[in-house]
């Protein structure tokens, strides 16, 4: 009997060892809402390729674009439940988790993407990556998309042109205040619903980068795009602290290296992707791009900038000052 028992445990031991040798790969589900031909879509694919190159069968990256797995509003909750491991929501979509990141939504804050880059690399920008820590989320890096333009069913040249019109916004109170400041009506809606809302004329307009306006075909149902460059769509790549810190010691550095390389790649193509999207929109002849005169643009600045004061306490004046300083 004893002999039988020890043989059984020996067999079990051998089976366990064999199981360990062919351990299941670690799966990283990367969920995002945009198309593949965008800076974020391309960065996600690059990350998948690099992880495969560095870790082979040990780690399996599954990329889910176009809100296939989760929309903007569910992805972070899903992450905290362990259902998704990586996401790169727009910086406008973290309001439930921290007030500080709202700085990125202040209208007319950054003069260009070089200023955004300087701010993200500054001590304050790096510190903001830790602003989700007490919610169990870890900020792994910033990814660029670009500056936002205003698209609409009618031409928008001065703020009064937008009065009374309905604009889809991301889930951000700063963006709501920005549209209220010009007497427009902001509506918080998921990215995946924007096209149909525009197409059915349930809303009049929206704000986004050329890359998103092109890849989501908004330009096909919005005859006018005002090149306002009034705000930013950039991303923070996040994971749950428990997943990320729980990665095996021999795996995490390689995944981190892959992510760093993929982010550098995404950031290097973002400007060009947006320029190409703009050109493709022009070539389509479906939407007219309106260039503002300096005087017209100044009217938008004056109308929207009071929003800064409204949110200074929540965001922190020091954070706003650091962002402004990045313009110099």
Q: How far is the CB of 82 from ligand LMR (least distance, A)?
A: 22
- Which string of x and - marks every residue 272-311 that binds ligand LMR (by CB under 6 A)? ----------------------------------------
From candidates 28, 34, 258, 303, binder to ligand LMR by CB under 6 A? 34
Q: How far apart are the first and last CA of the chain?
A: 82
* Closer residue to ligand LMR, CB minimum distance, 72 or 173: 72
Site for ligand LMR in 113-172 (CB under 6 A): 145, 170
Alpha-carbon 90 to chain mean position = 3
Site for ligand LMR in 175-214 (CB under 6 A): 191, 208, 212
From candidates 33, 61, 176, 255, binder to ligand LMR by CB under 6 A? 33
Q: How far is the CB of 213 from ligand LMR (least distance, A)?
A: 10
Question: What distance in Å separates the CA atoms of residue 243 and residue 258, rounded to the nearest whole number?
Answer: 17
* Closer residue to ligand LMR, CB minimum distance, 85 or 90: 90
3-state DSSP call for residue 175?
helix
Query: Taking the alpha carbons of 110, 75, 177, 199 in that order, is the dihedral positive or negative?
Result: positive
Q: Which candidate, 314, 322, 287, places its Cα nearest to that of 116? A: 322
Q: What are phi and psi of 164, to 5 degrees?
A: 80, -10
Tokens, residue 109? 């804050």
Count interface residues toward ligand LMR (CB under 6 A): 10
* Closer residue to ligand LMR, CB minimum distance, 125 or 146: 146
* Closer residue to ligand LMR, CB minimum distance, 55 or 184: 184
From candidates 51, 177, 233, 259, binder to ligand LMR by CB under 6 A? 233
Do 187 and 166 touch, CB atoms closer than 8 A?
Answer: yes
Question: What distance in Å separates the CA atoms of residue 123 and residue 273, rounded to the nearest whole number?
Answer: 28
Q: How far is the CB of 252 from ligand LMR (least distance, A)?
A: 26
* Closer residue to ligand LMR, CB minimum distance, 157 or 188: 188
Q: How far is the CB of 12 from ligand LMR (least distance, A)?
A: 49
Q: How far is the CB of 324 from ligand LMR (least distance, A)?
A: 23
Task: List all residues 6 or more positions away from 149 whose beta carbon is below 8 Å from its beta carbon.
Answer: 207, 208, 209, 210, 213, 225, 226, 227, 228, 229
Question: What distance in Å separates the CA atoms of residue 243 and residue 84, rounded to the nearest whole number?
Answer: 10
- Asked if residue 326 binds ligand LMR (CB under 6 A), the reply is no
Residue closest to ligand LMR (Cβ): 90
* Closer residue to ligand LMR, CB minimum distance, 26 or 166: 166
- Alpha helices for the chain (secondary structure H): 2-21, 39-55, 75-80, 113-121, 123-128, 173-180, 194-199, 210-215, 241-245, 252-284, 294-304, 307-315, 317-325
Q: Which residues bind ligand LMR (CB under 6 A)?
A: 33-34, 72, 90, 145, 170, 191, 208, 212, 233
């Amino acid at each position: 009997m004893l002999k039988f028992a020890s043989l059984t445990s020996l067999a079990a031991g051998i089976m366990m060892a064999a199981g360990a040798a062919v351990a299941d790969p670690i799966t990283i589900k990367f969920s995002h809402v945009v198309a593949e031909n965008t800076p974020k879509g391309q960065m996600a694919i690059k990350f998948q390729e690099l992880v495969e190159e560095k870790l082979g069968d040990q780690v399996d990256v599954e990329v889910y674009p176009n809100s296939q797995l989760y929309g903007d509003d569910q992805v972070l909750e899903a992450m905290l439940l362990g259902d998704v491991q990586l996401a790169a929501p727009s910086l406008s979509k973290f309001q439930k988790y921290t007030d500080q990141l709202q700085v990125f939504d202040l209208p007319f804050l950054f003069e260009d993407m070089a200023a955004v880059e300087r701010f993200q690399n500054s001590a304050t920008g790096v510190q903001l990556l830790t602003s989700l820590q007490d919610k169990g989320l870890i900020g792994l890096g910033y990814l660029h998309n670009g500056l936002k333009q205003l698209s609409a069913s009618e031409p928008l040249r001065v703020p009064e042109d937008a009065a009374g019109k309905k604009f889809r916004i991301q889930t951000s109170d700063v963006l709501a205040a920005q549209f209220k400041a010009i007497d427009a009506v902001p509506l918080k809606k998921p990215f995946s619903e924007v096209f149909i809302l525009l197409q059915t004329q349930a809303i009049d307009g929206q704000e986004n980068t050329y890359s998103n306006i092109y890849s989501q075909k908004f330009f096909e149902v919005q005859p006018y795009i005002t090149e306002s460059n009034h705000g930013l769509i950039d991303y923070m790549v996040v994971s749950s602290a428990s997943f990320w810190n729980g990665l095996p010691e021999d795996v995490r550095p390689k995944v981190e290296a892959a992510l760093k390389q993929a982010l550098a790649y995404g950031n290097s193509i973002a400007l060009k992707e947006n320029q190409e999207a703009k050109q493709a929109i022009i070539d389509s002849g479906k939407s007219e791009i309106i260039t503002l005169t300096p005087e017209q643009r100044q009217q938008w600045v004056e109308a929207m900038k009071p929003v800064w004061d409204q949110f200074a306490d929540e965001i922190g004046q020091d954070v706003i000052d650091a962002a402004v300083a990045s313009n110099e």
